[in-house]
């Protein structure tokens, strides 16, 4: 997920003189750069897609040829009834309830970037229901919702068959704001965007080779000639979010123990920690289940060589105040693993944290095909 916001300060910066810019640059040299992973404001941190009701295309894709743990399916086909839903957390890492959020959803056609950079007003003019020959290339308003939105995937196009995805743009509003008001303020570049979030989201279509079979049946070109595709590729399981076995936790270099991350923070049993302690946090994948999510892909432009690839999984983390990332740790929000080994998130309990205070970490574990898993850990500061 990629999110974008615009503020009054950002708009005003363009009219500052060269001298003022020099003063800003000089001041910035002496001020610490805030850690983007610390939740200093309410923020959209993930957006999840799943099938609610499968459409008529290849219903067998929902039944994997191997046994997988129960979880949503995130690769979608035209005709599926789907739900997309945001995860928005406040400064305490508490997720906002659906009743606290209003959302406005756009379908972006071939991409959402024109809207993100040039604020294309045409997306707000036409409802998708009113679009003649509505398909996956249409640019239109899908509708409004709360944290989430349900809709039916439209017909396939050549562009979507090639890229194997659909592009959405979501506007979220909370704290008494309306989503339409947030959108108008962003387009006008002259209003406050407090209580607003703007999210680009890619919906993955698939499984890949069944999608190409459907493309061929619709008279569209396929990414490689179907006669080159081995039979086993058509049995590739539909994508699920990453399968987590738990979360590895180490304290001050101790041997890591496996703890269960909660699906919501109120379920996270606080783990006692002391000020100054270093925490090593690593999501641990269920290797057997995750290896069954292997992707079969081509390695040459002619599509003559097919190989199985383990699906790449990465994670990012967000924390409440009272936890910080050491200066020597990676500044990246995302850590790319080697196969099924995820690198650690290293955090230090601040000396300023108060005894009895509960500190939280939110982990977002993502795969390469639109699957997000969100888990919470809680820590209580003790003497």
User: Are the C-beta atoms of residues 45 and 88 closer than 8 Å to each other?
Assistant: yes
Rounded to the nearest angstrom, the gap between the alpha carbon of residue 71 and the centroid of all alpha carbons in its chain is: 17
User: What is the pLDDT at residue 60?
Assistant: 87
- Peptide bond between residue 207 and the one before it cis (omega within 30 degrees of 0): yes
User: What is the pLDDT at residue 125?
Assistant: 74
How many Cα neighbours within 13 Å face the side chain of 334?
A: 12
User: What is the pLDDT at residue 330?
Assistant: 47
User: Are the C-beta atoms of residues 140 and 131 closer than 8 Å to each other?
Assistant: yes
Q: Which residue has the tokens 């897609």?
A: 49
pLDDT in tens, the chain (383 residues): 433 333 322 333 233 333 333 333 334 444 556 788 999 999 999 999 999 999 999 988 887 666 677 889 999 999 999 999 999 999 999 999 999 999 999 999 988 865 544 555 556 679 999 999 999 999 999 999 999 999 999 999 999 999 999 999 999 999 999 999 999 888 887 778 999 999 999 999 999 999 999 999 999 999 999 999 999 999 888 999 999 999 999 999 887 788 988 998 888 889 999 999 999 999 999 988 888 888 998 887 777 899 998 888 999 999 999 999 887 554 433 434 444 567 789 999 999 999 999 999 999 999 989 899 999 999 999 99
Q: Report the predicted TM-score, pTM, of the whole model to 2 decimal places.
A: 0.86
User: What is the pLDDT at residue 242?
Assistant: 94
Strand partners, 48: 85
How many Å is the maximal CA-CA distance in the chain?
69
User: What is the pLDDT at residue 53?
Assistant: 95
Q: At 213, is the secondary structure helix, strand, or coil? A: helix
Of the candidates 281, 230, 277, 4, the residue with the CA atom closest to the CA atom of residue 117: 4
User: Are the C-beta atoms of residues 317 and 37 closer than 8 Å to each other?
Assistant: yes
Sequence-distant (6+) residues with CB within 8 A of 134 are: 128, 140, 154, 155
Q: What is the rounded distance in angstroms from the CA atom of residue 97 to the CA atom of residue 196?
A: 15
- Record the tokens describing residue 106, joined without a space: 């756009």
> What is the sign of the dihedral through the CA atoms of 317, 323, 324 and 325?
negative
Hey, how many other C-beta atoms are within 10 angstroms of the C-beta on 364?
21
Rounded to the nearest angstrom, the gap between the alpha carbon of residue 108 and the centroid of all alpha carbons in its chain is: 17
User: What is the pLDDT at residue 20?
Assistant: 34
């Amino acid at each position: 997920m990629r999110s974008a916001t615009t503020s009054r300060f950002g708009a005003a910066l363009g009219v500052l003189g060269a001298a003022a810019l020099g003063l800003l640059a000089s001041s910035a040299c002496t001020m610490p750069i805030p850690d983007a992973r610390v939740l200093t404001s309410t923020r959209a941190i993930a957006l999840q897609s799943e099938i609610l009701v499968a459409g008529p295309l290849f219903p067998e894709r929902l039944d994997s040829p191997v046994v997988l743990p129960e979880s949503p399916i995130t690769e979608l086909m035209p005709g599926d009834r789907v739900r997309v839903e945001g995860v928005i957390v406040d400064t305490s890492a508490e997720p906002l309830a659906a009743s606290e959020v209003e959302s406005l959803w756009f379908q972006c056609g071939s991409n959402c970037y024109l809207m993100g950079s040039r604020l294309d007003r045409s997306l707000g003019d036409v409802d998708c229901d009113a679009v003649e020959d509505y398909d996956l290339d249409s640019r239109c308003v899908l509708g409004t919702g709360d944290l989430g939105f349900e809709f039916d995937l439209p017909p396939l196009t050549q562009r979507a068959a090639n890229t194997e995805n659909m592009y959405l743009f979501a506007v979220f509003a909370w704290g008494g704001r309306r989503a339409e008001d947030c959108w108008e303020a962003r387009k006008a570049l002259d209003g406050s965007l407090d209580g607003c979030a703007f999210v680009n989201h890619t919906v993955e279509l698939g499984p890949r080779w069944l999608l190409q079979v459907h493309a061929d049946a619709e008279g569209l070109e396929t990414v490689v000639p179907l006669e080159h595709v081995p039979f086993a590729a058509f049995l590739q399981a539909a994508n699920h979010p990453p399968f987590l076995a738990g979360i590895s936790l180490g304290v001050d270099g101790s041997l890591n123990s496996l703890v269960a991350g909660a699906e919501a923070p109120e379920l996270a049993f606080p783990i006692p920690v002391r000020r100054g302690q270093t925490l090593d946090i690593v999501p641990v994948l269920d290797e057997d289940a995750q290896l069954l999510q292997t992707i079969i892909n081509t390695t040459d432009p002619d599509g003559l060589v097919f190989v199985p690839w383990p699906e790449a999984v990465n994670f990012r983390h967000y924390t409440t105040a009272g936890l910080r990332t050491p200066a020597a740790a990676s500044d990246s929000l995302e850590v790319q693993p080697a196969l099924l080994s995820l690198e650690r998130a290293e955090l230090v309990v601040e000396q300023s944290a108060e005894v009895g205070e509960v500190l939280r970490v939110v982990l977002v574990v993502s795969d390469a095909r639109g699957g997000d898993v969100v888990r919470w850990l809680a820590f209580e500061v003790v003497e």
